[in-house]
Structure 1
Amino acid sequence: MGVSGSGKTTVAAGLAQRLGVPLAEADEFHSPANIAKMTSGRPLDDADRAPWLAAIAGWIAERARDGGGVVTCSALKRRYRDTLLAAAPGHVLFLHLDGDKELLAERIGRRSGHFMPPALLDSQLADLEPLEPGEPGVRLDIALTPDALVDAAAAAVEGDR
Protein backbone atom coordinates (compact mmCIF):
# COMPACT_ATOMS: atom_id res chain seq x y z
CA MET A 1 0.00 0.00 0.00
CA GLY A 2 1.02 3.59 -0.46
CA VAL A 3 0.59 6.65 -2.60
CA SER A 4 1.57 6.88 -6.23
CA GLY A 5 5.32 6.73 -6.76
CA SER A 6 6.03 4.77 -3.58
CA GLY A 7 7.27 1.71 -5.47
CA LYS A 8 4.31 -0.60 -4.95
CA THR A 9 4.65 -2.33 -8.32
CA THR A 10 8.42 -2.80 -8.06
CA VAL A 11 8.31 -4.19 -4.53
CA ALA A 12 5.23 -6.33 -5.18
CA ALA A 13 6.78 -7.90 -8.28
CA GLY A 14 9.96 -8.75 -6.37
CA LEU A 15 8.00 -10.11 -3.42
CA ALA A 16 5.67 -12.23 -5.56
CA GLN A 17 8.67 -13.69 -7.38
CA ARG A 18 10.47 -14.40 -4.10
CA LEU A 19 7.39 -16.09 -2.60
CA GLY A 20 6.41 -17.88 -5.82
CA VAL A 21 2.85 -16.56 -5.77
CA PRO A 22 0.66 -14.68 -8.29
CA LEU A 23 0.88 -10.91 -8.60
CA ALA A 24 -1.94 -8.50 -9.38
CA GLU A 25 -1.59 -4.80 -10.10
CA ALA A 26 -4.48 -2.80 -8.62
CA ASP A 27 -4.45 -0.39 -11.56
CA GLU A 28 -5.73 -3.27 -13.72
CA PHE A 29 -8.91 -3.38 -11.62
CA HIS A 30 -9.86 0.25 -12.37
CA SER A 31 -12.75 0.95 -14.69
CA PRO A 32 -12.12 2.96 -17.86
CA ALA A 33 -14.10 5.80 -16.22
CA ASN A 34 -11.77 5.84 -13.20
CA ILE A 35 -8.70 5.89 -15.43
CA ALA A 36 -10.16 8.72 -17.51
CA LYS A 37 -10.97 10.70 -14.37
CA MET A 38 -7.44 10.35 -12.97
CA THR A 39 -5.85 11.03 -16.35
CA SER A 40 -7.75 14.32 -16.47
CA GLY A 41 -6.23 15.27 -13.10
CA ARG A 42 -9.31 14.69 -10.97
CA PRO A 43 -8.95 12.52 -7.86
CA LEU A 44 -11.23 9.55 -7.31
CA ASP A 45 -13.82 9.71 -4.57
CA ASP A 46 -15.09 6.89 -2.38
CA ALA A 47 -17.92 6.06 -4.79
CA ASP A 48 -15.39 5.69 -7.63
CA ARG A 49 -13.22 3.45 -5.51
CA ALA A 50 -15.94 1.11 -4.17
CA PRO A 51 -16.22 -1.23 -7.20
CA TRP A 52 -12.43 -1.15 -7.62
CA LEU A 53 -11.90 -2.21 -4.00
CA ALA A 54 -14.58 -4.91 -4.32
CA ALA A 55 -12.79 -6.38 -7.34
CA ILE A 56 -9.45 -6.38 -5.51
CA ALA A 57 -11.11 -7.95 -2.46
CA GLY A 58 -12.49 -10.70 -4.71
CA TRP A 59 -9.01 -11.39 -6.05
CA ILE A 60 -7.65 -11.53 -2.48
CA ALA A 61 -10.37 -13.99 -1.43
CA GLU A 62 -9.56 -16.27 -4.38
CA ARG A 63 -5.83 -16.19 -3.65
CA ALA A 64 -6.41 -16.92 0.05
CA ARG A 65 -8.15 -20.14 -1.01
CA ASP A 66 -5.46 -20.98 -3.58
CA GLY A 67 -2.23 -20.46 -1.63
CA GLY A 68 -1.72 -16.72 -1.50
CA GLY A 69 -0.72 -13.84 -3.71
CA VAL A 70 0.57 -10.30 -3.76
CA VAL A 71 -1.54 -7.35 -4.90
CA THR A 72 -0.64 -3.69 -5.14
CA CYS A 73 -3.23 -1.25 -3.86
CA SER A 74 -2.95 2.28 -2.57
CA ALA A 75 -5.32 1.35 0.32
CA LEU A 76 -5.07 4.94 1.51
CA LYS A 77 -7.87 4.86 4.07
CA ARG A 78 -8.57 2.54 6.96
CA ARG A 79 -12.04 1.75 5.62
CA TYR A 80 -10.51 0.67 2.31
CA ARG A 81 -8.13 -1.63 4.15
CA ASP A 82 -11.03 -2.98 6.21
CA THR A 83 -12.77 -3.93 2.94
CA LEU A 84 -9.67 -5.83 1.81
CA LEU A 85 -9.20 -7.50 5.21
CA ALA A 86 -12.81 -8.70 5.21
CA ALA A 87 -12.16 -10.62 1.98
CA ALA A 88 -9.76 -13.01 3.70
CA PRO A 89 -9.60 -12.52 7.47
CA GLY A 90 -6.24 -13.58 8.84
CA HIS A 91 -4.67 -13.75 5.36
CA VAL A 92 -3.90 -10.10 4.61
CA LEU A 93 -0.75 -8.20 5.56
CA PHE A 94 -0.27 -4.59 4.52
CA LEU A 95 3.20 -3.36 3.58
CA HIS A 96 2.98 0.43 3.71
CA LEU A 97 5.61 1.92 1.42
CA ASP A 98 6.06 5.36 2.91
CA GLY A 99 8.46 8.21 2.43
CA ASP A 100 9.34 11.78 1.73
CA LYS A 101 7.00 13.84 -0.47
CA GLU A 102 9.89 15.20 -2.52
CA LEU A 103 11.14 11.69 -3.34
CA LEU A 104 7.62 10.62 -4.29
CA ALA A 105 7.19 13.64 -6.56
CA GLU A 106 10.56 13.01 -8.19
CA ARG A 107 9.65 9.40 -8.92
CA ILE A 108 6.25 10.30 -10.36
CA GLY A 109 7.88 12.95 -12.54
CA ARG A 110 10.27 10.38 -14.04
CA ARG A 111 7.53 7.90 -14.96
CA SER A 112 6.20 7.67 -18.47
CA GLY A 113 3.12 5.95 -19.74
CA HIS A 114 1.21 6.00 -16.45
CA PHE A 115 -2.23 7.57 -16.15
CA MET A 116 -1.61 9.05 -12.68
CA PRO A 117 -0.46 12.67 -13.09
CA PRO A 118 1.94 14.24 -10.55
CA ALA A 119 -0.74 16.80 -9.66
CA LEU A 120 -2.72 14.11 -7.80
CA LEU A 121 0.06 13.35 -5.30
CA ASP A 122 -1.15 16.04 -2.89
CA SER A 123 -4.69 14.63 -2.89
CA GLN A 124 -3.36 11.14 -2.19
CA LEU A 125 -1.19 12.38 0.67
CA ALA A 126 -4.19 14.26 2.10
CA ASP A 127 -6.29 11.05 1.97
CA LEU A 128 -3.56 8.79 3.39
CA GLU A 129 -4.37 7.29 6.77
CA PRO A 130 -1.23 5.46 7.90
CA LEU A 131 -1.53 2.00 9.41
CA GLU A 132 -3.04 2.12 12.87
CA PRO A 133 -2.29 -0.07 15.88
CA GLY A 134 -4.06 -3.38 15.44
CA GLU A 135 -3.91 -3.37 11.64
CA PRO A 136 -1.84 -6.23 10.23
CA GLY A 137 1.09 -4.58 8.55
CA VAL A 138 4.39 -2.78 8.67
CA ARG A 139 5.74 0.53 7.38
CA LEU A 140 8.71 0.35 5.00
CA ASP A 141 10.84 3.38 4.10
CA ILE A 142 10.95 4.00 0.35
CA ALA A 143 14.42 5.51 0.69
CA LEU A 144 15.71 1.91 0.84
CA THR A 145 16.78 0.20 -2.37
CA PRO A 146 14.22 -1.99 -4.14
CA ASP A 147 16.17 -5.11 -3.12
CA ALA A 148 16.24 -4.01 0.53
CA LEU A 149 12.50 -3.30 0.41
CA VAL A 150 11.78 -6.75 -1.03
CA ASP A 151 13.96 -8.29 1.70
CA ALA A 152 12.07 -6.35 4.39
CA ALA A 153 8.72 -7.23 2.83
CA ALA A 154 9.61 -10.93 2.67
CA ALA A 155 10.76 -10.85 6.29
CA ALA A 156 7.46 -9.25 7.32
CA VAL A 157 5.45 -11.88 5.45
CA GLU A 158 7.54 -14.72 6.85
CA GLY A 159 7.15 -13.30 10.36
CA ASP A 160 3.37 -13.15 9.89
CA ARG A 161 2.96 -16.81 8.92
Structure 2
Amino acid sequence: MDDEMVVGQESAQVVVMGVSGSGKSTVGALLATVLGVAFIDGDALHPAANVAKMTSGIPLTDDDREPWLDAVGSALAAAAPGGLVLACSALKRAYRDRIRSHAPAVLFAELDGTQAQLAARMDRPGHFMPASLLASQLATLEPLQADERGLRLDVAEEPGTLAAVIADRARSEFR
Protein backbone atom coordinates (compact mmCIF):
# COMPACT_ATOMS: atom_id res chain seq x y z
CA MET A 1 0.00 0.00 0.00
CA ASP A 2 1.31 3.42 -0.94
CA ASP A 3 1.65 5.99 1.81
CA GLU A 4 0.50 8.72 -0.55
CA MET A 5 -2.97 8.87 -2.05
CA VAL A 6 -2.03 10.96 -5.11
CA VAL A 7 -3.09 9.47 -8.43
CA GLY A 8 -2.90 11.36 -11.69
CA GLN A 9 -4.79 14.61 -11.16
CA GLU A 10 -6.81 13.35 -8.18
CA SER A 11 -5.77 13.17 -4.58
CA ALA A 12 -7.71 11.95 -1.57
CA GLN A 13 -10.13 14.71 -0.63
CA VAL A 14 -12.52 13.38 2.00
CA VAL A 15 -15.08 15.21 4.11
CA VAL A 16 -16.22 13.28 7.17
CA MET A 17 -19.67 14.76 7.72
CA GLY A 18 -22.60 14.60 10.11
CA VAL A 19 -24.27 16.42 12.95
CA SER A 20 -22.50 17.43 16.12
CA GLY A 21 -21.61 14.41 18.24
CA SER A 22 -21.36 12.02 15.30
CA GLY A 23 -17.59 11.61 15.70
CA LYS A 24 -16.44 13.57 12.64
CA SER A 25 -13.25 14.83 14.25
CA THR A 26 -12.31 11.52 15.84
CA VAL A 27 -12.96 9.47 12.71
CA GLY A 28 -11.46 12.14 10.45
CA ALA A 29 -8.20 12.26 12.39
CA LEU A 30 -7.94 8.45 12.33
CA LEU A 31 -8.74 8.38 8.61
CA ALA A 32 -6.08 10.98 7.85
CA THR A 33 -3.52 8.85 9.68
CA VAL A 34 -4.56 5.73 7.77
CA LEU A 35 -4.37 7.55 4.42
CA GLY A 36 -1.19 9.44 5.29
CA VAL A 37 -2.72 12.85 4.54
CA ALA A 38 -3.36 16.01 6.54
CA PHE A 39 -6.45 16.54 8.71
CA ILE A 40 -8.38 19.74 9.38
CA ASP A 41 -11.28 20.06 11.79
CA GLY A 42 -13.73 22.28 9.94
CA ASP A 43 -14.73 23.94 13.21
CA ALA A 44 -11.39 25.75 13.06
CA LEU A 45 -12.45 27.41 9.81
CA HIS A 46 -15.59 29.04 11.25
CA PRO A 47 -15.52 32.83 11.49
CA ALA A 48 -15.53 34.10 15.09
CA ALA A 49 -19.11 35.38 14.68
CA ASN A 50 -20.32 31.84 13.88
CA VAL A 51 -18.58 30.39 16.93
CA ALA A 52 -20.11 33.11 19.12
CA LYS A 53 -23.60 32.35 17.79
CA MET A 54 -23.27 28.60 18.33
CA THR A 55 -21.75 29.09 21.78
CA SER A 56 -24.84 31.13 22.65
CA GLY A 57 -27.11 28.31 21.45
CA ILE A 58 -28.19 30.16 18.30
CA PRO A 59 -28.36 28.01 15.14
CA LEU A 60 -26.45 29.29 12.13
CA THR A 61 -28.33 30.51 9.08
CA ASP A 62 -27.41 29.58 5.52
CA ASP A 63 -25.92 33.08 5.13
CA ASP A 64 -23.76 32.49 8.22
CA ARG A 65 -22.47 29.24 6.74
CA GLU A 66 -21.53 30.52 3.26
CA PRO A 67 -18.05 31.93 4.08
CA TRP A 68 -17.33 28.85 6.18
CA LEU A 69 -18.34 26.47 3.39
CA ASP A 70 -16.16 28.42 0.96
CA ALA A 71 -13.24 28.10 3.40
CA VAL A 72 -13.86 24.33 3.63
CA GLY A 73 -13.96 23.97 -0.15
CA SER A 74 -10.88 26.15 -0.59
CA ALA A 75 -8.93 24.11 1.97
CA LEU A 76 -9.76 20.91 0.09
CA ALA A 77 -8.83 22.44 -3.26
CA ALA A 78 -5.56 23.82 -1.89
CA ALA A 79 -4.60 20.42 -0.46
CA ALA A 80 -4.06 18.87 -3.87
CA PRO A 81 -1.94 17.02 -4.76
CA GLY A 82 -1.21 15.75 -1.26
CA GLY A 83 -4.78 15.09 -0.17
CA LEU A 84 -6.78 16.09 2.87
CA VAL A 85 -9.37 14.76 5.30
CA LEU A 86 -11.66 17.45 6.68
CA ALA A 87 -14.37 17.14 9.35
CA CYS A 88 -17.39 19.28 8.43
CA SER A 89 -21.09 18.97 9.19
CA ALA A 90 -22.10 19.53 5.51
CA LEU A 91 -25.72 19.03 6.57
CA LYS A 92 -27.55 20.11 3.41
CA ARG A 93 -27.12 19.11 -0.21
CA ALA A 94 -26.66 22.81 -1.06
CA TYR A 95 -23.77 23.00 1.44
CA ARG A 96 -22.10 19.97 -0.12
CA ASP A 97 -22.67 21.45 -3.59
CA ARG A 98 -20.94 24.66 -2.45
CA ILE A 99 -17.97 22.63 -1.18
CA ARG A 100 -17.92 20.67 -4.47
CA SER A 101 -17.81 23.97 -6.40
CA HIS A 102 -14.26 24.32 -5.02
CA ALA A 103 -13.31 20.62 -4.84
CA PRO A 104 -15.38 18.64 -7.38
CA ALA A 105 -13.80 15.25 -6.62
CA VAL A 106 -14.46 15.31 -2.86
CA LEU A 107 -15.75 12.11 -1.25
CA PHE A 108 -18.27 12.58 1.57
CA ALA A 109 -18.44 10.06 4.43
CA GLU A 110 -21.64 10.64 6.42
CA LEU A 111 -21.69 9.46 10.04
CA ASP A 112 -25.29 8.64 10.92
CA GLY A 113 -26.90 7.83 14.25
CA THR A 114 -30.04 8.19 16.31
CA GLN A 115 -30.73 11.35 18.29
CA ALA A 116 -30.20 9.39 21.52
CA GLN A 117 -26.81 8.06 20.36
CA LEU A 118 -25.66 11.49 19.28
CA ALA A 119 -26.91 13.34 22.38
CA ALA A 120 -25.04 10.89 24.62
CA ARG A 121 -21.80 11.77 22.82
CA MET A 122 -22.12 15.55 23.06
CA ASP A 123 -20.78 16.04 26.56
CA ARG A 124 -17.41 17.36 25.38
CA PRO A 125 -15.58 19.73 27.70
CA GLY A 126 -14.33 22.81 25.90
CA HIS A 127 -16.43 22.36 22.76
CA PHE A 128 -18.53 25.36 21.73
CA MET A 129 -21.48 23.38 20.32
CA PRO A 130 -24.15 22.89 22.99
CA ALA A 131 -26.33 19.77 22.98
CA SER A 132 -29.35 22.09 22.66
CA LEU A 133 -28.48 22.61 18.97
CA LEU A 134 -28.61 18.89 18.10
CA ALA A 135 -32.33 18.97 17.28
CA SER A 136 -31.85 21.89 14.87
CA GLN A 137 -28.97 20.09 13.18
CA LEU A 138 -31.01 16.91 12.78
CA ALA A 139 -33.89 18.95 11.34
CA THR A 140 -31.48 20.54 8.84
CA LEU A 141 -29.72 17.30 7.86
CA GLU A 142 -30.27 16.12 4.29
CA PRO A 143 -28.61 12.69 4.04
CA LEU A 144 -26.32 11.95 1.11
CA GLN A 145 -28.22 11.24 -2.08
CA ALA A 146 -27.58 8.37 -4.50
CA ASP A 147 -26.00 10.74 -7.04
CA GLU A 148 -23.49 12.14 -4.53
CA ARG A 149 -19.99 10.68 -4.26
CA GLY A 150 -19.98 9.22 -0.79
CA LEU A 151 -21.08 6.66 1.76
CA ARG A 152 -23.17 6.54 4.94
CA LEU A 153 -21.94 4.80 8.08
CA ASP A 154 -23.48 3.97 11.45
CA VAL A 155 -21.90 5.79 14.41
CA ALA A 156 -22.48 2.67 16.52
CA GLU A 157 -19.36 1.20 14.87
CA GLU A 158 -15.96 1.80 16.46
CA PRO A 159 -14.12 4.88 15.11
CA GLY A 160 -11.24 2.73 13.87
CA THR A 161 -13.63 0.51 11.94
CA LEU A 162 -15.32 3.54 10.39
CA ALA A 163 -11.96 5.02 9.39
CA ALA A 164 -10.92 1.71 7.79
CA VAL A 165 -14.15 1.47 5.76
CA ILE A 166 -13.81 5.06 4.55
CA ALA A 167 -10.12 4.52 3.74
CA ASP A 168 -10.98 1.48 1.61
CA ARG A 169 -13.55 3.52 -0.31
CA ALA A 170 -11.15 6.45 -0.72
CA ARG A 171 -8.43 4.15 -2.04
CA SER A 172 -10.83 2.76 -4.65
CA GLU A 173 -12.15 6.24 -5.56
CA PHE A 174 -8.78 7.99 -5.83
CA ARG A 175 -6.72 5.29 -7.54
TM-score (norm 1): 0.96
How far off is 1:24 after superposition? 0.7
Residue in structure 1 matching 2:94, options 39, 56, 79: 79
Q: Does residue 68 of structure 1 match 2:74?
A: no
Residues 7-156 of structure 1: pairs in structure 2 closer than 5 A: 7-63=23-79, 65-89=80-104, 91-108=105-122, 110-156=123-169
Greater percentage in helix: 1
> Which amino acid letter does the alignment assign opposite residue 114 of structure 1?
H
**Secondary structure of the equivalent of 2:170?**
helix
**Secondary structure of the equivalent of 2:118?**
helix
Work out whether residues 74 and 103 of structure 2, in 8 Å CA contact, stay in contact via their aligned partners in 1: no
> Which amino acid letter does the alignment assign opposite residue 168 of structure 2?
A
Instruction: Provide the alpha-carbon RMSD of the alignment.
Output: 0.8
**Secondary structure of the equivalent of 1:71?**
strand
**Secondary structure of the equivalent of 1:50?**
helix
Distance in 1 between the 2:137 and 2:162 partners? 22
How far off is 1:159 after superposition? 2.1
Greater percentage in strand: 2
Moved more, 31-40 or 151-160: 151-160
**Secondary structure of the equivalent of 1:75?**
coil
> Which amino acid letter does the alignment assign opposite residue 93 of structure 2?
R
> Which amino acid letter does the alignment assign opposite residue 99 of structure 1?
G
Distance in 2 between the 1:23 and 1:102 partners? 28
List alignment gaps of at least 5 residues for structure 2: 1-16
List alignment gaps of at least 5 residues for structure 1: none
Identity %: 53
> Which amino acid letter does the alignment assign opposite residue 110 of structure 2?
H
How far off is 1:146 after superposition? 1.0
